Amino acid sequence: MTALEKRRKAFFRGHSAERLASFALMLKGFRIVARRYKTRLGEIDLIARRGDLILIVEVKARSSLEAAMEAVNHASMRRIEAAADLWLARQPDRAGLSLRFDIVAVLPWRWPLHVPAAFTAFR
């Protein structure tokens, strides 16, 4: 398998994981506000909302929960937080919103595992 084929396979696996994670969050009562939200500082996989609670969700398709948790390192947390700050700054009701950083681990042959408050902002 060439490098391009590997990259393409990972791309499609990531998209399917994000679709499955968004479906799982919708079943929990969240509304998906944005998918693959890109800024100059970073990208957020999913932004979900239920009431005044905003979830900034990093989706990881891995073989285990431990591998998914380890895949979100300090640098990626900083990029996600910076992108979340830009998204939040554009919201007219930002003063009344609560922000939470979650991880959804998509594991083989299992329902996605939602890890609430997986990391906190570095403010």
pLDDT tens string 32-63: 999 999 999 999 999 999 999 999 999 999 99
Q: What number does CATH give the domain 3-119?
A: 3.40.1350.10
| Domain locations in the chain as residue ranges | 3-119
Parallel, antiparallel or unpaired: strands 98-106 and 53-61: parallel
Distance CA 47, CA 22 (A): 9
Cβ atoms of 118 and 80 closer than 8 Å: no
**pTM score, whole prediction:** 0.91
Name the amino acid, one letter, at 43.
E
pLDDT of residue 17: 95
Residue 123 has pLDDT above 70, yes or no: no
